[in-house]
Structure 1
Amino acid sequence: MGLHLYDTRRRRVRPFEPQRPGHVGVYVCGPTVQSAPHVGHLRTALPFDLLRRWLTHGGLDVTLVQNVTDIDDRIIVNADRDGTSVWELATRQTRAFDDAYRTVGILPPSIQPRATGHIPEMIALIGALVDGGYAYPGGGSVWFRVGRFADYGALSHQRPDAMLPSAETEPGKRDPRDFALWKAARPGEPSWTSPWGDGRPGWHLECSAMAGKYLGPSFDIHGGGLDLVFPHHENERAQTVCAADGGAGTGEMARYWMHVGLLTTGGTKMSKSLGNSVLVADALEAVRPQVLRYHLLSAHYRSTLEYSPEALAESTAAHDRVETFVRNALDILGGPGEAAALAADDGPPDAGAGRSHGAGGAEAPTPARVWADFAAALDDDLAVGRALAAIFGAVGQGNQVLSKAHSRALAGWAEVTRRMLAVFGLDPHEQWPSAGAELRSALDGVMQIVLDLRSAARSRHDYTEADAIRSRLAAAGLVVEDTSEGQRWHLA
């Protein structure tokens, strides 16, 4: 059916058609780097990483722009609290975010612009809005005139006349609904020169300027967290449309608006302001990065996802089941090259008929059918629940032939499983080789010695010793299985 995505602006799932054939432009609101990253930041970023991988898998060229907000009230406050400069704090935390994204396998953005590097573009955008009568200077700042944009509120589905005014009185502001494009300089804070006086950009302005520079006034997808719909994205859209078409509302900043649901803990939104956020560094002390990635991708991107020890334990067990199958299958098949060669004899996973007939004429699933189900799921607004069901279906089929002399069948299931995992960024062979590749090689050698000792004990009918070896290995987290092809081990 082709890719369909939910559009917040239109409140429905729509067929996705790139503005420019063969190319997709995506703008994702990145972090405000006032403090260390927490897992909520990863929850927002990961669905767009999955979308990017899926679009790329489909042969599209994706330009993903993710900004860094490196000047903001919160950065200024935190820098002052820490006794450091705004620039030092922003640089340090930008590196921390980059490290966190990289650790969980998020691909780096095609372009990563910083707000402070685009002040000229912001001033030019403000100038266009002032010249068009959609912004006005006042009190040393510049304000966007919300009442002049007839389509204001269309993204968040709110009526401007029903919006609650800000409780804060700000000099020069004519309408409580208006928002700052340019903030007047305050003593001791970073500032830049503009035609309206020294100051710094408003938060909403920066994304309009950077998205416009790198993707144009209209592009394919704008994304971010659900909490950004209003006021941030509503204001971005208003600025961009007014600057582009004179405020008529006939244009559109993004053709699709995508928003990721909240991450909760104990049923409450995870937030620094509420003091219940879990830092990425702390989360990675509890689980491996690929398990954290799996957990944060395991729910549909528009739904709320709970973060708790119990939920992490379930995700750990589920991920380990898939990882164990892939590694055991590749061990039996002699490695990924041999597995790919055997699977290729039967054609690629998406080729051929969907199902074969098993005993009694019942239809049996094939790798081709499972891949088709997986693709249909992701094409349906990234329905990860169904996509993961396809992965576990393949793992189940593969485990049925794991201990049998059906190497070609095993290769087919191993390859389609790895192909699906690659889209999720979770292939344990290619994307996570650091999960003990060198240690695994050394452990393989040690385990072979231990298994030889166990085999020798069984040969002399000393089953007490053989069982004792197996029990001691199990206590150390190493499971030994006796199969028709000999002993096999894996991590518990």
Structure 2
Amino acid sequence: MLKIYNTLTRQKEAFKPITPGVVNMYVCGPTVYNYIHIGNARSVVAFDTVRRYLEFKGYQVNYVSNFTDVDDKMIKAANEQGITVPELADKYIQAFMEDTKALNVEDATMHPRATENIAEIIQVVQTLIEKGYAYEADGDVYYRARKFKRYGALSGQSLNDLEVGASEHVSQDEVDKKEDPLDFALWKAAKPGEINWESPWGPGRPGWHIECSVMSTKYLANTIDIHAGGQDLTFPHHENEIAQIEPVTGQPFVHYWMHNGFVTIGKENEKMSKSLHNFITVHDLLKTVDGQVLRFFMATTQYRRPIQYSDEQLQDAASNLKHLQNTFTNLSYRQEDAEAGSDPAVSDQATKFKAQFVTAMDDDINVQNGITVVYDLAKYANLYAQAKTVKQEAIDTLKNLLIQLTTVFGVKLQTEKINDTEIEVLIEQRNQARKAKNFALSDKIRDDLKAQGIILEDTPQGTRYRKE
């Protein structure tokens, strides 16, 4: 049975969706004022992998991930670039879609934008005011955090600790407006020249936290199965989401809270972030690194663990991915001379590999143990491909299982086909040279082909080649 670590309860819990066979999942998306960096992409890849495993297990996943397309950072960036906030949003939403496509991220069921849901946001804020959970102050609307009795439960912090932290990050202007340093903004009055919408409290725009509370319940349900995002969103963003929406719906907001670990960089293992100016954008990295390699690098670390980014780690990911691709190529090559029929031993072993994979992944999506099973499958498949006689159904079984398991990690294995008559001629010349014991010529042909990126492999079934 699948178990998921629930941030709210701080333990692994058996996963039971509200509706059998269906999972409603909301993942906090980016604020679209710049290209996403690897830390942002880690969250996208981690929960795309979770989604893929849920689909592997047969669930229908309704996957909603938002775009925050208006906030202080976006207003600042739009002014700096001399464009409007909507133009800035369109620019970086398009970039996000292109970058995540290169990482083979499945399309979300829906990508709502905050600015598409202003009316619903205003209605929720109005309801919170009517119920005494919020108050207006000079065009701003603030939430009374202490009124929500379970405030701090998700992040595991006391109100006193939260008050100290809040006091350190509140401007004097906010101090003058707020009843309590813990209170946070639901609606912000517009400054002169800023993008704004009309509201009962005057022209303004929504606060960041209220957006996700409204969009998750609007597009999924009042109570959803999974809400996910980066570890740094636990407080205040997700804590505030709970406090905002539960008084409105009168129902528990989320059954399972999932948070991914950071991407760290450098000798000091600093968290990668735009605020620390130590980030690498996916947009730039894809110019030199294959998207499948970057995806594999991130997808093969369990989502709650931190990832140490380095060129060496990327090289290891490229090597491991290449090994899996070569295994698939080896199996495809043997299909050409495979005999009709099945091999019960292969079928039995494939069933065992699949069961081992499920056992590994059912433990809070433990991809590190899961990919180890895939490597074991690859080793077994390569040995079978070297046998003097192979069966067609056995080859198909191994190929299909390899595809099925690697798809969970977002990997697309393909048969390499090199239709080059000149290469075939050179291979034949090399074969003749070897028969004549002219090893100098044989080695030269092999080395010349290698210099062109063509690797020769001598097998009991003959010499074959592949691209390096």
What is the match of residue 319 of structure 2?
317
Residue identity opposite 1:214 in structure 2: Y
Q: Deviations over 1:96-152 (max 9, x none)?
A: 001111111000100110000000010011011111100010121100000100100
Contact 1:46 1:296 in 2 (8 A): yes
Match of 1:269 in 2: 271
d(CA) in 2 for partners of 1:58 and 1:220? 16
Equivalent residue number for residue 153 of structure 2: 154
1:463 Cα shift?
2.2
Match in the other structure for 2:399: 414
SS in 2 for 1:65: strand
How many residues matched?
Answer: 458
Higher RCO, Cα 8 Å, sep 6+: 2
Q: 2:255, 2:42 → 1: CA distance?
A: 23
Q: Which runs of 5+ in 1 are unaligned?
A: 246-250, 353-365
- The CA distance in 1 between the partners of 2:24 and 2:402, in whole Å, is 29
Q: Which residue of 2 aligns with 1:355?
A: none
Checking the alignment, whether the CA contact within 8 Å between 2:6 and 2:12 is kept in structure 1 is yes
State how far apart, in whole Å, the 1-side matches of 2:288 and 2:315 are: 10
- Other-structure match for 2:210: 205
Match of 1:53 in 2: 52
Tell me, yes or no, if the aligned pair for 2:190 and 2:196 is still in contact at 8 Å.
yes
Whether the 8 Å contact between 2:27 and 2:228 is mirrored in structure 1 is yes
Per-residue CA shift, 1:176-211, capped at 9, x if unaligned? 110000001111110001111110000000001101
Structure 1 equivalent of residue 378 of structure 2: 395
| Aligned counterpart, 1:357 | none
Give the conservation status (yes or no) of the 8 Å contact 2:230–2:259: yes
1: CA distance between counterparts of 2:341 and 2:52? 26
2:388 maps to: 405
For the Cα contact (< 8 Å) 1:140–1:172, is it kept in 2?
Answer: no
The alpha carbon displacement at 1:482 in A equals 1.1
Q: Distance in 1 between matches of 2:160 and 2:138?
A: 25
Cross-structure match for 1:33: 32
Tell me by how many angstroms 1:50 deviates. 1.2
Q: CA deviation at 1:410?
A: 4.5
- Alignment of 1:242 with 2:241, yes or no, is no
Residue 168 (structure 2) pairs with residue 192 (structure 1): no
Verify: 1:482 aligned to 2:465, yes or no. Answer: no
In the aligned structure 1, how far is the partner of 2:40 from the partner of 2:346? Answer: 36
Q: 2: distance between equivalents of 1:153 and 1:467? A: 69
* Cα deviation, residue 233, structure 1: 0.5
Aligned: 1:328 with 2:313:
no
Correspondences of 1:427-438 after superposition (within 5 Å)? 427-429=412-414
Contact 1:328 1:490 in 2 (8 A): no
Secondary structure of 1:64's aligned partner: strand
For residues 407-458 of structure 1, what are the alpha-carbon distances to aligned partners after superposition, in whole Å with 9 as ceiling and x for unaligned?
Answer: 23554433322221122221312xxx8xxx7xx444x544323312322333
CA 1:446/1:387 → structure 2, altered by over 3 Å: closer, same or farther?
A: farther
Superposition deviation, residue 348 in structure 1: 9.9
Task: Give per-residue Cα distances to partners, 1:63-115, cap 9 Å, x unaligned.
Answer: 00000000011011111111221111110000000111111100010011000
- CA deviation map 1:295-348 (0-9, x unaligned): 01121100000111111111111111111111121122149xx89x966x7599
Residues 434 and 442, structure 2, Cα contact 8 Å, conserved in 1 = yes
Residues 81-96 of structure 1 correspond to what in structure 2 (within 5 A)?
81-96=80-95
Is the partner of 2:75 in helix, strand or coil? Answer: helix
The partner residue of 2:352 within 348, 369, 391 is 369
State percent identity of aligned pairs. Answer: 37
Residue aligning to 1:463? 439
Q: Which amino acid aligns with 1:228?
A: L
Cα distance in 2 for residues equivalent to 1:253 and 1:239: 10
Structure 1 residue aligned with 2:283: 281
TM-score (norm 1): 0.89
- Give the letter aligned to residue 93 of structure 2: T
Query: Residues 139 and 173 of structure 1 are in contact (CA less than 8 Å); yes or no, is this contact kept in structure 2?
Result: no
Query: Equivalent of 2:222, from 214, 217, 241?
Result: 217
Backbone CA RMSD of aligned residues? 2.0
Assess if the C-alpha contact under 8 Å between 2:403 and 2:412 holds in 1.
yes
Instruction: Tell me the SS of whatever aligns to 2:275.
Output: coil
Q: 1:342 to 1:268 in 2, by over 3 A?
A: farther
What residue is the counterpart of 1:233 in the other structure? 238
Offset of 1:49 from its aligned partner?
Answer: 1.0
TM superposition score normalised by structure 2: 0.93
Cα pair distance change 1:53/1:342, threshold 3 Å: farther
The verdict on how the C-alpha distance between 1:75 and 1:347 changes in structure 2, with shifts beyond 3 A counting, is farther
- Contact 2:27/2:227, CA 8 A, preserved across alignment: yes
User: Does the CA contact (< 8 Å) of 1:70 and 1:116 recur in 2?
Assistant: yes
8 Å Cα contact 1:53/1:423 also seen in 2 = yes
State the secondary structure of the residue aligned to 1:133.
Answer: coil
CA distance in 1, matches of 2:201, 2:461: 79
Match of 1:259, SS?
Answer: strand
State the shift of 1:397 in Å: 1.1
CA contact (8 A) 2:330 2:382 kept: no
Distance 1:17 1:206, change over 3 A: same
Which stretch shifts more, 279-288 or 231-240? 279-288
8 Å CA contact retained: 2:418, 2:466: no
Q: Report SS of the residue matched to 1:285.
A: coil
Q: Which letter does structure 1 place at the counterpart of 2:366?
A: A
- Gaps (5+ residues) in structure 2? none
1:168 partnered with 2:171:
yes
Distance 2:119 2:388 in 1: 67
Change (3 A) 1:348 1:407: closer
Q: Which moved more, 1:65-74 or 1:39-48?
A: 39-48
The alignment status of 1:302 with 2:307, answered yes or no, reads no
| Aligned residue number for residue 380 of structure 1 | 363
Cα 1:225–1:194 shift into 2, 3 Å: same
User: In the aligned structure 1, how far is the partner of 2:301 from the partner of 2:223?
Assistant: 30
